[in-house]
A and B are shown apart, each in its own frame.
Chain A
Amino acid sequence: MVEVHSVSKSYGLKAVVDDVSVNIEKGKITSFIGPNGAGKSTLLSIISRLLSADTGEVLIDGQKVNETKSRDLAKKIAILKQSNHLSLRLSVRDLVSFGRFPYSQGKLTKEDHAFIDKAIRYMELEDMQDKYLDQLSGGQKQRAFIAMTIAQDTEYILLDEPLNNLDMKHSVQIMKVLRRLADDLGKTVLIVIHDINFASVYSDYIVALKDGKIEAQGTVNEIITSLTLKQVYGMDMSIQEINNQKICVYFS
């Protein structure tokens, strides 16, 4: 379980994350939603030790993140930030192989190769594993990065806007993969996501942030209501039930 205890982080005078406490369930998908500048990405970075909190603490399976060795954490938690602009020409397979670095420290064993193969198969990248990343489309590239994260074989997978710049088809494909990661492999997935309908349909829990504070948290059914979303986004939405899924209609 990930426990966030009254974490705050500010840049200058502006509190980007303001006294946030939240517990994240194991084996589920938790989506972080909220308007731009709500502090979602910052919170994700703090949980994954890319940023340090000013106050408060983060515990992963009872261990304090800032007191755990970075190398050990890399086997427990993986984070993929948005906009992975790589200036390096790497093949898909090379990239996925780097996911094994926390275990191999550079020397890939048979076991590492097995994990790499599995991750490539999981993301259906077999045909293009020897291609360079700069030859791939945005969706394929994103899949390659997620494959690397899978190869890292961590219990917790954090993705910062994984659907950024993807079309519907690829977005659905990615979300289905995340669903399988949680349901089949028991991974805990945390995502920052802007499209609330993707959050509604594919996640188990939703945490809504606004101005650095938690506005609401709970199951999809608890959060996806006109009232809560009005509080979070400041706009009226009607919630329609289609095929047992809650769809927000926010085009007024």
Chain B
Amino acid sequence: MKKRYLVVLLILLSITSLFVGVTSISPLDLFRFSDQQTEIFWQSRVPRLISILIAGVTLSISGFIMQQLSRNKFVSPTTAGTMDSARFGILIALIVFTSASPFEKMVVAFIFSLAGTFLFMKILDKVKMKDPIFIPLVGLMFGNIISSITTFFAYKHDLIQNMSAWLQGDFSMITAGRYEMLYISIPLVFIAYIFADRFTIAGMGEDFARNLGLNYKQAVNVGLVIVALSTTLVVLTVGLIPFLGLVVPNIVSIYKGDNLKNSLSDTALLGAVFILFCDILGRVLIYPYEIPIGLTVGVIGSGIFIYLLMRRRDYA
């Protein structure tokens, strides 16, 4: 897959995304929008596109970083409890500060998702059986435990309905004023690029890293902060988007290898293309209604995940 094709695909899909929706806005109208069209375009379509792109890029890169640091191809924010922990954090924020501001929610959710991810990494250290398929199962179980705790407290505090909004990723609620927090994750992409070599070296093991004079713990910590923060921001603004951080890096790894510095741009591009495609699909399949992104990505992503598992069996 050439990067050029990905870029062209991304541009085409982006334009499509801007002009698909219940209110018909045609590219031909571009210079003679009615007031209503202008408003929908700037208040809904553009924010939606931007948030899709940011979510796709950051979740895919997060997945790649996690797979390197955990040395397992099947670990991602979905299969390591990161997303579930972030959701738990949102719940706690809602309980503790009754009307939590977005910023308070973000901080609490970030602390929880970081703690959850650290805990998972600790469990990983303790687990003797390093079977590549066993580890993500542990992570999924871990995530489910946290998720049950979340449900329990949500039920007790009558917040179930509230929480379900964060269960299923959905871009249809994105409007101007409700997604800008995602911009915080853009600098994270640059930090990821600067640290790319360190993540890859850390992915070769602690001894390996120390031999090269790398501060292993620091690299791991920076990586986990990037992962936890970008996951939190996506969960908070869009909701859970499962398997994206798993599927995209694995596909890139097959054709581009695991040297993060080389693969980062492809991962970002493919992540954006993949999620944009899923979103457009969800919007046209039962038009004028919409299938939430969490569901489309979940179905397509888990299908690819199964394929990757089988493929791994074959050559591992």
Please state if A91 and B257 are interface contacts (CB–CB under 8 Å): yes
Please state if A74 and B211 are interface contacts (CB–CB under 8 Å): yes
Contacts of A40-96 to chain B: CB distance below 8 A: 45, 48-50, 69-75, 78-81, 84, 86-91, 94
Chain B residues with CB under 8 Å of A105's CB are 197
Please state if B212 and A152 are interface contacts (CB–CB under 8 Å): yes
A42 → chain B closest CB, angstroms: 13
Measured as residues with beta carbon below 8 angstroms from the partner, the interface class of chain B is: 20 to 34
Chain B residues with CB under 8 Å of A78's CB are 211
Chain A residues with CB under 8 Å of B257's CB are 89-91, 94, 132
Q: Which of B197, B201, B211 contacts A50 (CB 8 A)?
A: B211
Chain A positions 96 through 108: 1 when the CB is less than 8 Å from some CB of chain B, otherwise 0:
0011011001100
Please state if B215 and A91 are interface contacts (CB–CB under 8 Å): no
Chain B residues with CB under 8 Å of A99's CB are 212
Contacts of A190-238 to chain B: CB distance below 8 A: none
Chain B positions 158 through 188: 1 when the CB is less than 8 Å from some CB of chain A, otherwise 0:
0000000000000000000000000000000
Is B144 positioned at the interface, with any CB of A under 8 Å from its CB?
A: no
Q: CA–CA, A41 to B212, complex, Å?
A: 19
Q: CA–CA, A99 to B93, complex, Å?
A: 46
Q: Which of A87, A101, A102 contacts B73 (CB 8 A)?
A: A87
Chain B residues with CB under 8 Å of A102's CB are 212-213
- Give the segment of B2-10, B120-128, B202-210 that binds chain A: B202-210
Chain A residues with CB under 8 Å of B215's CB are 70
Please state if B253 and A101 are interface contacts (CB–CB under 8 Å): no
Q: CA–CA, A251 to B72, complex, Å?
A: 43
Please state if A94 and B198 are interface contacts (CB–CB under 8 Å): no
Closest to A93 in B: B259
Contacts A50-B207, A78-B211; is A90 near B258 (CB within 8 Å)? Answer: yes
Is B68 positioned at the interface, with any CB of A under 8 Å from its CB?
A: yes
Q: CA–CA, A45 to B208, complex, Å?
A: 12
Contacts of B239-268 to chain A: CB distance below 8 A: 253, 257-259, 261-262
Which of A71, A87, A98 neighbours the largest number of chain B CB atoms within 10 Å of its CB? A87
Which of B211, B214, B259 neighbours the largest number of chain A CB atoms within 10 Å of its CB? B211
Q: Which of B68, B194, B198 contacts A88 (CB 8 A)?
A: B68
Please state if B259 and A74 are interface contacts (CB–CB under 8 Å): no
Q: Which of A45, A73, A80, A106 contacts B213 (CB 8 A)?
A: A73
Q: CA–CA, A71 to B212, complex, Å?
A: 7
Is B51 positioned at the interface, with any CB of A under 8 Å from its CB?
A: no
Q: CA–CA, A239 to B22, complex, Å?
A: 89
Q: CA–CA, A147 to B198, complex, Å?
A: 20
Chain B residues with CB under 8 Å of A132's CB are 257
Is B17 positioned at the interface, with any CB of A under 8 Å from its CB?
A: no
Chain A residues with CB under 8 Å of B207's CB are 45, 50, 79, 81
Q: CA–CA, A79 to B210, complex, Å?
A: 10
A sample of 15 more A-B contacts (CB under 8 A), given A88-B68, A88-B259, is A48-B211, A70-B214, A72-B213, A74-B211, A80-B211, A81-B207, A87-B73, A88-B203, A88-B204, A90-B257, A91-B259, A98-B204, A99-B212, A101-B212, A105-B197
Ordered by A's residue number, 18 sampled pairs between the chains whose C-beta atoms are within 8 Å are: A49-B210, A50-B210, A70-B210, A70-B213, A79-B207, A80-B211, A81-B207, A84-B208, A87-B132, A87-B203, A88-B68, A88-B200, A88-B203, A91-B259, A94-B262, A98-B197, A98-B204, A105-B197
